[in-house]
Structure 1
Amino acid sequence: MSEQVHSDVERPPVGRVVRIGLLGCGNVGAALVELIDREADTIAARTGVRLEVTRVAVRSMLKDRGLSLPDGVLTTDAASIVADPDVDLVVEVLGGIEPARELIDTAISNGKPVVTANKELLANVGSELALNADAAGVDLLFEAAVAGGIPLIRPLRESLVGEKINRVMGIVNGTTNFILSQMTEHGTGYGEALSEAQSLGYAERDPTADVEGYDAGAKAAIIATIAFGCRVVAGDVYHEGISNISAADIAYARQMGYRIKLLAICEQFDDNTVAVRVHPTMVPAGHPLASVSGSFNAVFVEGEAVGDLMFYGRGAGGFPTASAVLGDVIDAAQNLTRGTNASLGTLGRRRVRSIDELSSAFYINLEVSDEPGVLASVAGIFGDHKVSIRSMEQEGLGAEARLVFITHQASESAVHATLKALTALPTVVRVNSVLRVISNEE
């Protein structure tokens, strides 16, 4: 049997050098520099493009970033990078809306493709930036803005561009998934789980954006824009957070065959409307999303022809996110050398439904008086508002008496009216919890 002998060391062709200006050098930016340095030869061999990071904008020149960069690469003047004729491509990992928007706009105007991981920016002015990029004939790519290292945006905008997508539903915030996983798997209280997330670097000192659903809402706006080909901004997204989820909710969910997850849900309907929302949801234990644990993310895509797809992986962290950025950089660099760009196409205008126009199954946990006739009076309120009960459990005695319901599909408005009427009953002490439920009826 003959063998082919290959040289142990084979230098790739240099090809076209694409010079990168990097805006921001925190966890993701520093990881990107390291990845490009480490993989430059492989990338050049496979694509014919050699990537070089030639300028890096930072807030402080004194901070140790663990990188060895030539003199003159670091600068505190970000504007000089986007105006530099010796920079071919710009990567923005600063975060926030300004000055990122102005810097990206300037880079695009100067004919430079841009790669960004900035979800807040894209969820607010991404459509405008995409239009500007198309007009300038350059790329605006943003795979890393949603779900970290998971390849989701590219499949939605390329592989599934001809697919009618009915719903995208997923766990897109690792912080909240870690907290809920700790509460579910280890019986940890919410406060303790949040503190642990902060100590591990999963949560910020001020965790509001994560735990109240704002971060997931921004990502949901981006997903809906790409999946449905229409303009959705962060302000269109309904959101609830997880800060009111109790140990009792976790226990009841498990007892009833569910797990609680913070889900981003994007849907389109036959009347050409869309709905985008983020809220804690009871997911059947057998559903693929129910088993996604820790800081991992997963996104479930439901298409008309393709059926169900699921994307799973690390949704945050320096290197996973930098890997997604690098994929976009390579795409943009290749397009630049070919004189082409990837367009988002025309984003149509579609009405975004309010939460009151939607329907769901619900979990409703009531604290009630322990006396005869309570169940009948409560069930009567559900019936009066045409909210059908799928299952009911009665728990505890005396001051611990609870009625726990799972409803069939019901409109949000009908459930809100039911809850208002329940709170007026003398035998209902309080409504402890209300959660939406992913049911087999959907």
Structure 2
Amino acid sequence: MMEEQQTMEAVLLDRYVRFVDEVSEIIAERGGSPPSLTMESILQGIPENLSWQEREAAVQRTMEEAMSRYREEIEAPAEAILRERKASRPSAVKKIPVAFGGNDAALYREALDGIEPEYPQLVGPPGITSMVLRVSWSRASALRSFPPIAFVSSVHHNILVLYVGDYRPGFSSRGFYLVYDAMANSVAMVPRLPTRCVTMFSHCGMGSGVTVLRYGRSQYLLAELLLRKEDHGLTSNKATLFRWWSSEASGWVQTEVVLPLPCEPDEHTSEVNYSFYVDTFFAIGNTCLCWADLLEGMLVCYVLADCPKFRFVPLPEGCSKLDPCQHRGLPDQYRSMSCVERGDDQIITFVSMDGYGQGRHISNVELTTWTLKNPSDLKAKWTKGTASFRIRDLWSDRFYKENLLLGQLTPTFPVLSTTGFSWWMTLRWMF
């Protein structure tokens, strides 16, 4: 969810981001590719009375000639037109340069110059707002080999952080982090975690992604929390917290931490099995981050400290738990958690569809809410909401039956507001 202070209080944001190639747009404006450069016309010019070796060589040679013509006659003029337009109409998006070192410095600068976030249309909940990345990179640029993939990993107030490309920590895939400030309409690029610090053999993910915390009007901190792998390949409660401060140029800061994870002894060995998988993560106020397992509890950390410490907060007592013999599945299908700020107070809201997927008929599944005020306080305790309802109450509601005319749809994937105590759910048919 992203807050838009200037237009509306909040929007529901699609996490998957579409790419728009501005060079391709201009090529389409000019009529696209001429018939002489279509695949069919290219192959028609190859004689039929050739051996297969000769034909393969002819196809390869003809394709190279056609690509060269396409580059010269179609792409180059389109890029020239785009450069003229950019020069006469400067971008409204402010590009925030970040000091980069190493061999990728020039590539990151080129990437930043040629990328602009855009919202074609902002809509209020329950409508979904989609983000678009417009790119104007040259067709000869190495950036064109990047997969046109972007994903919104985390949002805090007006700050969004995205993965661009198929990059994820520990893998050698191509990509980078992109940070967009919706209030300032500015964009910055952050490099990947150093490969010397994290590999697929040294660390593994916890189910989360990069998290953002806004601690000033436009100052932010990015955090990646990765579990360390033991020598025998198993994971432990030892982890590495990587942090990036927008206000500093020191790069990623690496801190080794021990996580207070819930655990159980293995029945057959002396090993300890740690049970924690991050289903959702979010900021608490302007000082803390939270990583939540919707079946176990949450890790809370004051991430601005030089030596950050983690605290585990279990789920509310009496909250229905998954049968240990069952696979954990997708808890966010029937549970959700977020933080709401009320003045100086931060209030964690947890919503659960108790009984969902646990043998109870869907009409008897009960939606219950819990709140935890100021979770950084060691004495804070969960408070159960006074109001709850069963799914059958929704189906029998007069407005639902007479106005929505949806029939007996099952609510799933609850989404909690970060600006108030409200929530939305998707509805699907039961088969």
The reply to whether TM is greater than 0.5 is no
User: Which structure has more helix as a fraction of its residues?
Assistant: 1
User: Normalising to structure 1: TM-score of the pair?
Assistant: 0.27
User: Normalising to structure 2: TM-score of the pair?
Assistant: 0.28
